[in-house]
Structure 1
Amino acid sequence: MWNNFWNIIWLMFWAFALISYLFALFAIIGDLFRDRELNGWWKALWIIFLIFLPFLTALVYLIARGRGMAERQSRDVQQAQQQADDYIRQTAASSSPADDIAKAKQLLDQGVISAGEFDALKAKALGHKF
């Protein structure tokens, strides 16, 4: 029974090591293609080394370029956050249906649009299909 238990523990250890390596490998490959300063030949060379000497190359890459990986990741996260904030600000700044109807009513009162156009704008503001 104990022999089988330790085999399971050993299997779990190697499964954890393999999954950890795959996470590191995908992070390295993602970083290679995200890096705009590294030219294509260097990227190809890193990939070739990752294929033929995977563990050693991954370790060397993380030691040599780890700081740059962190900086690129941080920059991308900040850029994504800025885009999300801009989208939220833009969406929040859009007018409500009541505001759209009030503007259309002003245009109708000024004679800029007809009653039919006002009805169409009102239906659009309320989300009705026409």
Structure 2
Amino acid sequence: MVFAFIAEFIGDGKFDGWFRALGLLFLFIVPFLTVWRCVVGRGRGMAEGQDAQLQRSWNGAVSHIRYITAEEYAILKSKALAWQLGN
């Protein structure tokens, strides 16, 4: 949970550098209270941020997947069968 808090806190563009430094300082002084405060205060925002990151990752993965056409499949299949019969 602490690592998720650090990743969320540093990666969030809503906070300036001094606030991030102060939050990390409190994290090392009173870790449980700081994480509890973050979950209570920003729990919904953290979940929405994770959902947005997951959606961006999914869209990126889907855009890299190339679907083959029926003609390409037929060519690949005939080459594979020809190779198999040759060996």
Please report the TM-score for the alignment, with normalisation by the length of structure 1.
0.51
Identity %: 35
The amino acid of 1:31's aligned partner reads: E
Where does residue 40 of structure 1 map in the other structure? 17
1:92 aligns with 2:85: no
Where does residue 74 of structure 1 map in the other structure? 51
Where does residue 79 of structure 2 map in the other structure? none
Please report the TM-score for the alignment, with normalisation by the length of structure 2.
0.73
The amino acid of 1:65's aligned partner reads: R
1:1-130 to 2 correspondences below 5 Å: 24-88=1-65, 91-92=66-67
Moved over 3 A (4+): none
Larger relative contact order (Cα-Cα within 8 Å, sequence gap ≥ 6): 2
* CA distance in 2: counterparts of 1:71 and 1:38, whole angstroms: 17
Which runs of 5 or more residues in structure 2 are unaligned?
76-87
Which runs of 5 or more residues in structure 1 are unaligned?
1-23, 99-130
Larger radius of gyration: 1
CA RMSD in angstroms, aligned pairs only: 2.2
1:92 match: secondary structure: coil
1:82-115 CA-to-partner distances (Å, cap 9, x unmatched) read 0011111xx3369x5x6xxxxxxxxxxxxxxxxx
* CA distance in 2: counterparts of 1:64 and 1:54, whole angstroms: 15
